[in-house]
Structure 1
Amino acid sequence: MLFFSPYVDKFGIMSIRKGWDANVKESYANVIINNNHRSLDKTFQYLIPAHLANNVLEGSLVLVPFGNTLKYGYVVELSHKKQHPKLKEIKDVLSRSLSLNEEEISLANWMSDYYLTTRIKTLKMFIPVGALPNIIKQFKLLEKAYMDDLNTSAKKLYDIVYKAGDKWIDNNLFENDRKSYKKAYKELLDKGYIIEQHIVLETQRRNNWRDQKAILNVEKLRLENHCSLRKRAPKQWAIVKALQEGFDSSIQSLLDITNVDIGVLKRLIEKDIISIESYKNKENYMDNSICLNSDQKKAYEIVANDIENKSYNPYLLYGITGSGKTEVYMEIMEHCLKKELQTILVLPEIFLTLQIVSRLQSRFSDHIVILHSKLTPKERYEAWKSIKFGQKKIIVGARSVVFAPVKKLGAIIIDEEHDTSYKQDNDPKYNAREVALKRAMWHNCPVVLGSATPSLETFLGTQTGKIKLLSLPKRVKDYQLPTVQVIDMRDELRQGNLSIFSKSLQEEISKTLANKKQIILYLNRRGFASFVLCRDCGFILNCVNCEVSLTYHQTTQKMLCHYCGFSQSIPQKCPECNSLHWKPFGLGTQKIEHEFKTLYPHVDVMRIDGDISDKKEVVQNYLDEFAKGKTNVLIGTQMVAKGLDFPNVTLVGVIAADTTLNLPDFRSREKSFQLLTQVAGRAGRGKWEGKVVIQTFNPHDISIVHAKNQDFTSFYKDEITFRKEYNYPPFSQIIRIVFTGRTEDLVNEGANFFYKYFTRSLQLKKNTNFLQILGPNPCGLVKIKGEYRYQLLVKYEKGVNLRPIVKVCLDEFYQASPFANKVNVSLDISPNNFA
């Protein structure tokens, strides 16, 4: 008999989950096995033994026999119908904290169907990396063997086992020689010479740093020479600096805000610079409400009303740059906090939005948890549990934070909703915005999509009534938008100016520096030069693993591939013709820095780009110094285009506005407009008037024209007309099917095999006028990391469901084609990347 099991965990959270009455003679569980192969993307039925009858629930993580090994899997359905005469039993139920609830299973099923991926991949999105247990197979000697009875590899393995005596040996010690080991192991096992067992190693628990805080020993710091510490150990300095500035919270919050691991703190403890004291979490909540202007207040009250009434509604919070969207977000969080509800805030990239994170930390203190890529698996697991058990009410993170295990969700907020980083490049290729809408629908709560430059899909939703529009039409404190000047670089060349800085930009830089104000210079390309070219034979130095040119980095004197990480020194002469006429071409942020220092040798310059983006403490120190006015000029890539608020910045220079405009992508104008508008919005955010200089070779392109006027509405009208005329999204749908493999001929043949089967399947439909197929053709980047790449692009009418046909063809490819184990197929629904 099926029952609904109410239980209260140790944190006082009560749940109701589906299970079986232990008095029923036999019951069964349908389990998704932890294996990513598409052929195993189905449920396997297991018998629930009597002693586990009350413990096996829908969503349970279980240990099951699979083949000749043990695997873990998720129970997705309970049944009283036996599917096979002989069923294996579930061995054990693992940690209840890793179980999934009905919403998570339902959302994982939807993602699997919608994004055409395996269910285990979508189920695991709800579990933090490193939290799932490791299953280790061990073996030892059972009885002595007759050596003549064994082949050569079995004799070698037996010799190892014999010398180990009664000790268990881990089979993962033989990973490097897997093929021969597997045969030898099977022979010894079949003949009864060894015995095996499986050990389940669950995630180790760590100290609870939420109950302790760090105290700075000022005298020891003085003796240590803090100036030396700052240069020698920037991670340690990040902790010291936070404590110097009065940070008074748990060690876990300190680690979150400084983005360092516990090992860094321990080194400071060993030096006696820091001591540890107990810390009591502040239960008394302080009301930190701020004064909103009329537009902000109206937007907040509409969303707050939905929170009160538990109503699902998607909203676009459309506000120009500097209009105070963050303040509205914080008031929504405050409202949820008072109602004991949780809020999810999704940011494009934590390290690109450090100022927002710092403001949230300051205001919400220990109510907030921040999930980011630099957390260790143990730290991520602890943070995940604090969300699951309701200890943390405000959850902040990048794309994957939409899978946070919230119990009582009050609202989801997606900042910069247009940002392409919300679409995952790896399988499962989900869009965080779409997942957020599904989750909010389940929880009956509002979703706020914030942007100054919303995606065309989202803004069209406001026109059709699917999304409600909330507007912030003016900057806070009545600050004005900056004036924008567009410079035609063709005219600069005609006038003999060969500098990467136009005359107008040079004049504005000089004026700004004379007025002791600050400057941001933007170029969306790191490095010194895009490629190195032989001027005699035309040879370009390419990556050995990818068919792309290597980028010259002057600071390291290296040629670097930005796709696979391969690097090499610059040859003294051309490898093709031995010519010495070997010259870097193109632009990068390092070259901007070099040219600027040539023109303004006495001005301090700071550069922030992908070369240091993974060094959060360095980025934070750079931004702190810029905010304090210690440096007047900041040069960077898209890292300086979003989320930064420096009131003293009065000039922004866009060095080359054409970098995103010339991409082979129907969204290139949209992406260009968004980036230009966002980076222009960094100027004039204080009481001083801002100026933006945009340099381009395409001054009449609509993305440049409308970015100059900061006019999203006009851009939307022009671009949506173009999309409709050529039937591009949002008026159609696109599926990108990419084929990869080590041999180009095989990849090409595999792609054509799929294409033929796909077109035959489509012929069963009477009318195929609803779609267009492009390819199979080589991808824009035909080779990356040693693998060749071909693609099919399928464009079809909105409202048509093509997924079932694509799925059948994919299954057929893997089950019946000669390319199944040689060519990999990747599906991307509504792709953002066409490279």
Structure 2
Amino acid sequence: MRLVKVVVDIPLNREFLYLPGKFENKISPGMRVLVPFRNQKKIGWVVGFSEEKEGEYKEILKVYDKEVLLTPELLELSKKISDYYFSSYGEALSAISKNLSLKTIHVEEKEIKERKYYKTEIPESLISSIMKESFTKVFIRFKKEEVKEKVYFDILASIKDGSAILLFPQIYRAQKYYEKFKKYFGENIIFFHGSLSKKEKTALWLRMLKGKNLIVIGTRISVFSPLRDLKLIIIDEGSNFSYKEKQTPKYDTFKVAEWRAKDRGIPLVIGENIFSVGEYYMVKERKIPVFEFPREKVIHPPIQIFHLRKEKMDNRLPFFTRETAFLFEQTLLKKGKIGILHNRKGIPEFIMCEICNYKFLCDKCNGLLIILNNKKVMCKLCNTEFPFPEKCPQCGSRKIIQKTYGLEKIKTTIQQNYPSLKLVKKMDEDGEIGEFNVLLAAKSIERIIEEVEFSLLIFVNGDMFFNFPDYKAEEDFFLFVNKIISKVKNEDCKIIIQTPNPYLTIYKSLKENKPEIFYEKEISIRRFLLYPPFTNIIKIEIEGKKVERLEEKARKIEEYLKREKIFVAYSGFSYPPLKKGKYIYKFLIKTERIEDVREEMEKLKEDFSVSIDVNPERI
């Protein structure tokens, strides 16, 4: 009797052997089973068979699936995810299928008609690129958001035979496209995302397993759609941080889509409003084809950069320069809608130099310092206390002031000066906003930009969006501003960015509408400092409630890495150092090839219970 190889959802990367018992002829790789595991019962995944060996083996207790749930392709894909992102095989399979129902779901058979072929208006060169019977990567750059829907539809409509996946970073965007495309593709289209119930998700999963000529539209979980006739993958905004999974395995959807397309020998189309630094470098160095839409020249709203200096600030609205305050009032008089963007939610109070705007930071974790009394200041993140600073370390001035800065304070001040205005503060993507004159938001404004005609957009302090210790911080702000520009409905909209540092390269690039200025500067820095795309970064994190124990554990990890001759680029408390009552300590490792440190990382995870993130969104 053959033994059954089973993996379970635990950090240990091992296969366990079981006797099939009465299920000998009912088990195949890709099915879920219930197995005795130590002193408990666990759900596992069958991944293969082994010839019978001497020893005592327990029997499988139950088989949940009547047919294979995970195709051989998805089993192989899970193995790649496990190897690359330092998770166990079981954790990778769990990420794909743990939210599918264990109960038998009866799926209504739907008549899937052969898809109609629509005559498209996109260039023949693009069609020929994506219709190749081999793996190819194609970038599409959308200079205006509004043309994206037409281009994606034309690409999907050009597929005469086979299925396709269209991925979006947010549910609301996926839903918008699903509702529009359903009118044309009917029952051939599926909307798949993580917020579905287990029953709904399982029913759609089984439809994908059995169906053909389908179009799956959804969020990152859709990259695992079990389509047997998959011919094309489109990923919208491939550089969006929402594609990075936050739970183990912390996979990047873009990377998984690339593996899947390459293994199947099918095209991968990446649609972007603006390239990330990595994508720009990829296109430039590897000569990857890029198609731009619309093909004619597009005039974007110009960006004005205003210098935040004490002598330039408005008296009534002290967070605006006088130029900004003038445009604010002018827009209100013309009944235009205004968006105020700021990366501070509440009313954080911190100390800074009145002369040079230097912000005093905690020596321990780089958190902002707030005033306790006239003798002490305290870190807002880790609560460490320090003596009140006597002078600014940057310019030597003794004029240290307490600064109150946040959207709530801005809203209150505007309301006091303009009591009849309708102000709305929105900090997330959900919910209706209703009527307003002025909208206050952070990055959540991205969704609203597509629906509302703004006449004026004001970034209260651009630096606040990237003023934290991370090599990608400036890039994130650069991408965000450019996405806003491409999505603005009103071509006459004015965009203002206030900053205490108007001479930074990022502002020059934005003002002159020359992205290459920013790209080339970033690539030069990253090449010199060995950051992606020139190397891989692995972030190792440990957490605990007691600092002493955490530091002792960190010391042992550092000793282990030193013995294994693994270079640690950084070790210390994370930023912020405290999350949900636990301190977080991190190590950053740079390596040219992930496989060079795989064995050491797996042992580290097994011995020290660490969290490992490959090329994280935040270091």
State the TM bucket, normalised to the shorter chain. 0.7 to 0.9
User: What are the equivalent positions in structure 2 for 1:443-462 lying under 5 Å apart?
Assistant: 443-462=264-283
Alignment partners' CA distance in 1, 2:512 and 2:310: 21
CA separation of 1:355 and 1:102: change in aligned 2, threshold 3 A: closer
Residue 547 in structure 1 maps to residue 519 in structure 2: no
Q: SS in structure 1 opposite 2:508?
A: helix
Alignment partners' CA distance in 2, 1:357 and 1:533: 51
Check conservation: 2:29, 2:47, Cα contact below 8 A.
yes
Greater C-alpha radius of gyration: 1
Report how many residues are paired: 584
Letter in structure 2 aligned against 1:595: T
How far residue 306 of structure 1 moved from its aligned partner, in angstroms, is: 4.8
Q: Deviations over 1:145-172 (max 9, x none)?
A: xxxxxxxxxxxxxxxxxxxxxxxxxxxx
Q: Look up the match of 2:397.
A: none
Alignment partners' CA distance in 1, 2:295 and 2:324: 27
Q: Look up the match of 2:191.
A: 370
Structure 2, unaligned runs of 5 or more: 351-369, 385-400
Q: Look up the match of 1:787.
A: 582
Q: Look up the match of 1:61.
A: 32
Taking structure 1 as the reference length, the TM-score comes to 0.64
Letter in structure 1 aligned against 2:611: S
Check conservation: 2:132, 2:267, Cα contact below 8 A.
no
How far residue 796 of structure 1 moved from its aligned partner, in angstroms, is: 3.0
User: What are the equivalent positions in structure 2 for 1:83-102 lying under 5 Å apart?
Assistant: 83-96=53-66, 99-102=69-72
How far residue 63 of structure 1 moved from its aligned partner, in angstroms, is: 2.8
How far residue 799 of structure 1 moved from its aligned partner, in angstroms, is: 7.7
Alignment partners' CA distance in 2, 1:603 and 1:366: 47
Q: Look up the match of 2:219.
A: 398
Q: Look up the match of 1:831.
A: 616
Larger RCO: Structure 1 or Structure 2 (Cα < 8 Å, ≥ 6 residues apart)? 2
Check conservation: 1:58, 1:75, Cα contact below 8 A.
yes
Check conservation: 1:348, 1:399, Cα contact below 8 A.
yes
Letter in structure 2 aligned against 1:780: Y
Letter in structure 2 aligned against 1:733: N
CA separation of 1:800 and 1:77: change in aligned 2, threshold 3 A: closer
Alignment partners' CA distance in 1, 2:184 and 2:426: 27
Q: SS in structure 2 opposite 1:671?
A: helix
CA separation of 1:394 and 1:443: change in aligned 2, threshold 3 A: same
Check conservation: 2:561, 2:567, Cα contact below 8 A.
no
How far residue 117 of structure 1 moved from its aligned partner, in angstroms, is: 0.8
Q: SS in structure 1 opposite 2:464?
A: coil
Check conservation: 2:141, 2:272, Cα contact below 8 A.
yes
CA separation of 1:447 and 1:491: change in aligned 2, threshold 3 A: farther
Alignment partners' CA distance in 2, 1:534 and 1:88: 63
How far residue 72 of structure 1 moved from its aligned partner, in angstroms, is: 2.7
Q: Deviations over 1:618-651 (max 9, x none)?
A: 2xx43xx5xxxx5444332212135842473332
Alignment partners' CA distance in 1, 2:53 and 2:404: 64
Taking structure 2 as the reference length, the TM-score comes to 0.84
Q: Look up the match of 1:695.
A: 498
Q: Deviations over 1:596-620 (max 9, x none)?
A: 333443333333213xx4xx4x2xx
Alignment partners' CA distance in 2, 1:518 and 1:361: 33
Q: Look up the match of 2:200.
A: 379
Check conservation: 2:312, 2:321, Cα contact below 8 A.
no
Check conservation: 1:775, 1:793, Cα contact below 8 A.
yes
Check conservation: 1:402, 1:432, Cα contact below 8 A.
yes
Check conservation: 2:144, 2:293, Cα contact below 8 A.
no
User: What are the equivalent positions in structure 2 for 1:218-229 lying under 5 Å apart?
Assistant: none
Alignment partners' CA distance in 2, 1:676 and 1:418: 14
Of residues 476, 485, 488 in structure 2, which corresponds to 1:680? Answer: 485
Letter in structure 1 aligned against 2:138: Y
Q: SS in structure 2 opposite 1:504?
A: helix
Letter in structure 2 aligned against 1:315: V
Q: Look up the match of 1:331.
A: 154
CA separation of 1:501 and 1:446: change in aligned 2, threshold 3 A: same
Q: SS in structure 2 opposite 1:638?
A: coil
Q: SS in structure 2 opposite 1:96?
A: coil
CA separation of 1:36 and 1:804: change in aligned 2, threshold 3 A: same
CA separation of 1:704 and 1:42: change in aligned 2, threshold 3 A: same
Q: Look up the match of 1:119.
A: 89
Alignment partners' CA distance in 2, 1:510 and 1:643: 22
Q: Deviations over 1:685-737 (max 9, x none)?
A: 35x42321111111111112212223222211121111112222211221111
Q: Look up the match of 1:36.
A: 10
Q: Look up the match of 1:803.
A: 598
Alignment partners' CA distance in 1, 2:212 and 2:408: 45
Letter in structure 2 aligned against 1:675: F
Let me know the Cα RMSD of the aligned residues. 3.3
CA separation of 1:354 and 1:95: change in aligned 2, threshold 3 A: closer
How far residue 750 of structure 1 moved from its aligned partner, in angstroms, is: 1.3
Check conservation: 1:312, 1:447, Cα contact below 8 A.
yes
Alignment partners' CA distance in 2, 1:586 and 1:330: 48
CA separation of 1:528 and 1:63: change in aligned 2, threshold 3 A: same
CA separation of 1:497 and 1:398: change in aligned 2, threshold 3 A: same
Q: Deviations over 1:461-485 (max 9, x none)?
A: 112227432233767xx65210111
Q: SS in structure 1 opposite 2:463?
A: coil
Of residues 13, 17, 20 in structure 2, which corresponds to 1:45? Answer: 17
Q: SS in structure 2 opposite 1:607?
A: strand
CA separation of 1:67 and 1:132: change in aligned 2, threshold 3 A: farther
Check conservation: 1:417, 1:450, Cα contact below 8 A.
yes
CA separation of 1:74 and 1:598: change in aligned 2, threshold 3 A: same
Letter in structure 2 aligned against 1:58: P
Alignment partners' CA distance in 2, 1:602 and 1:494: 24
Alignment partners' CA distance in 1, 2:404 and 2:600: 45
Check conservation: 2:4, 2:20, Cα contact below 8 A.
yes
CA separation of 1:364 and 1:522: change in aligned 2, threshold 3 A: farther
Alignment partners' CA distance in 1, 2:449 and 2:225: 26
Alignment partners' CA distance in 2, 1:358 and 1:509: 37
Residue 743 in structure 1 maps to residue 546 in structure 2: yes
Alignment partners' CA distance in 2, 1:497 and 1:516: 21
Alignment partners' CA distance in 2, 1:450 and 1:643: 20
Residue 776 in structure 1 maps to residue 571 in structure 2: yes
CA separation of 1:110 and 1:690: change in aligned 2, threshold 3 A: same
Of residues 45, 48, 52 in structure 2, which corresponds to 1:82? Answer: 52
Q: Look up the match of 1:755.
A: 558
Percent identical across equivalent pairs? 25
Residue 484 in structure 1 maps to residue 303 in structure 2: yes
Letter in structure 1 aligned against 2:299: Q
Q: Deviations over 1:255-312 (max 9, x none)?
A: xxxxxxxxxxxxxxxxxxxxxxxxx98969677767x4xxxx23xx445335544321
How far residue 434 of structure 1 moved from its aligned partner, in angstroms, is: 0.2
Q: Look up the match of 1:156.
A: none
Residue 640 in structure 1 maps to residue 434 in structure 2: no
CA separation of 1:390 and 1:466: change in aligned 2, threshold 3 A: farther
Alignment partners' CA distance in 2, 1:502 and 1:365: 53
How far residue 82 of structure 1 moved from its aligned partner, in angstroms, is: 2.3
Of residues 299, 305, 320 in structure 2, which corresponds to 1:501? Answer: 320
Q: Look up the match of 1:110.
A: 80
How far residue 407 of structure 1 moved from its aligned partner, in angstroms, is: 2.3
Of residues 392, 411, 415 in structure 2, which corresponds to 1:597? Answer: 415
Q: Look up the match of 1:313.
A: 136
CA separation of 1:635 and 1:656: change in aligned 2, threshold 3 A: same
CA separation of 1:600 and 1:366: change in aligned 2, threshold 3 A: farther
Alignment partners' CA distance in 1, 2:425 and 2:588: 39
How far residue 356 of structure 1 moved from its aligned partner, in angstroms, is: 4.9
Alignment partners' CA distance in 2, 1:380 and 1:795: 38
Q: Look up the match of 1:274.
A: none
